[in-house]
């Protein structure tokens, strides 16, 4: 992409990239969904201990399994999201990844228990079992949701002049959502409704946001 100091670059609402050009409202919405996906990921991490606890106990190994699983999934999501964003820089694709990850969350309560049972009974070492179980139930959705940030940066960038601000804002907004997800889940949602209900909520919110992203491309 050429660095162009023309008037076009000084118009904040037009972004320049290969593929679709989001309007200012769409750009705002991309930031909003960054906030939401950040919240969903951390909320789900808080839930992880509620899923794993009854099967693997409350040992420190369970926490280690949870945290390392979330980090591994985010790591995979960042790499994958970055490379896919260059190949398919479209809002529709981004919306699809959010939707697919959220559908998994919506369905998770229906199959979480047999999966956890499987690992408790079939892996002798409880530390290894808790890691395997955490990966089995958490890796996929968090990878998909973790793809969001690099992808959003790709879609929002217009030149390298503000690439710092755009990438910083995407990650900052996403992390702000993570704070709300962490605190809101721990102090508000968990005391109020069950883990399955919270997971349904996270999945529903994600599907709704992802569907809106996909749908937005039709109206242009």
Partner 1 sequence: MLVSCDLLLPISPVKAEEPFDPNIRAEMLKRKNGLIAHVETIYNDIFVSKNASLLKMNFQWNGWQFHESQVNLADTDDLPMLYTRAMSVAAIYPQDIKRVLVLGLGGGSIPIYLDHFLPDARIDTIELDPGVIDVAKKYFGLPETNRFHLTESDGRVYLKRHTELYDLIMVDAFAGSYIPFHLMTREFYQLVRDRLAPHGVAAFNILPSEKLFDSNVRTLRLAFTNLDFFNSGDRSLSVSNVIVLGRLDPFTEAEALQKATVAQARYNFSYDVSRLITARRIETPKAANGEVLTDDFAPVNAFDAYDRRYQRQSLPGDAQTTPGNSRIWQCTPRAHRDGSAAPR
Chain residues in the site for partner 1 (CB under 8 A): 50, 53-60, 120, 126, 187, 190-197
Q: How far is the CB of 145 from partner 1 (least distance, A)?
A: 23
- Judged by CB, which is closer to partner 1: 59, or 168? 59
CA atoms of 48 and 138, how far apart (whole Å): 8
- Judged by CB, which is closer to partner 1: 2, or 124? 124
- Judged by CB, which is closer to partner 1: 75, or 193? 193
- Judged by CB, which is closer to partner 1: 47, or 157? 47
Ramachandran area for residue 88 (φ above 0: left; ψ -120 to 50: alpha; else beta): beta
The number of residues making up the chain comes to 220
Q: How far is the CB of 187 from partner 1 (least distance, A)?
A: 8
Q: How far is the CB of 194 from partner 1 (least distance, A)?
A: 4
CA atoms of 50 and 151, how far apart (whole Å): 31
Q: How far is the CB of 142 from partner 1 (least distance, A)?
A: 21
Take residue 4 and report the two structure tokens written for it: 């162009």
What Rg do the C-alpha atoms of the chain give, in angstroms?
19
Residue holding tokens 């991309």?
Answer: 30
Q: How far is the CB of 60 from partner 1 (least distance, A)?
A: 5
- Judged by CB, which is closer to partner 1: 97, or 195? 195
3-state secondary structure of 2: coil
**Strand stretches in the chain, DSSP E:** none
Question: What's the DSSP call for residue 185?
Answer: I
């Amino acid at each position: 992409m050429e660095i162009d100091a023309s008037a076009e670059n000084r118009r904040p609402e037009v972004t320049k990239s290969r593929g679709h050009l989001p309007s200012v409202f769409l750009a705002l919405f991309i930031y909003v969904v960054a906030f939401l996906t950040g919240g969903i990921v951390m909320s789900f991490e808080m839930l992880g201990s509620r899923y794993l606890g009854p099967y693997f106990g409350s040992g420190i190994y369970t926490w280690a399994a949870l945290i390392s699983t979330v980090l591994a999934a985010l790591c995979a999501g960042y790499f994958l999201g970055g490379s896919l964003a260059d190949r398919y820089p479209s809002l529709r694709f981004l919306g699809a990844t959010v939707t697919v990850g959220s559908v998994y969350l919506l369905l998770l309560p229906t199959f979480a228990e047999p999966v956890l049972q499987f690992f408790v009974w079939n892996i002798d070492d409880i530390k290894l079992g808790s890691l395997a179980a955490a990966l089995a139930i958490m890796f996929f959705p968090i990878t998909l949701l973790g793809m969001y940030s690099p992808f959003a940066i790709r879609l929002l960038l217009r030149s390298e002049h503000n690439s710092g601000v755009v990438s910083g804002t995407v990650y900052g907004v996403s992390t702000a959502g993570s704070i709300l997800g962490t605190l809101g889940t721990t102090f508000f949602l968990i005391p109020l409704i069950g883990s399955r209900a919270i997971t349904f909520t996270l999945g529903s919110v994600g599907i709704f946001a992802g569907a809106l992203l996909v749908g937005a491309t039709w109206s242009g």
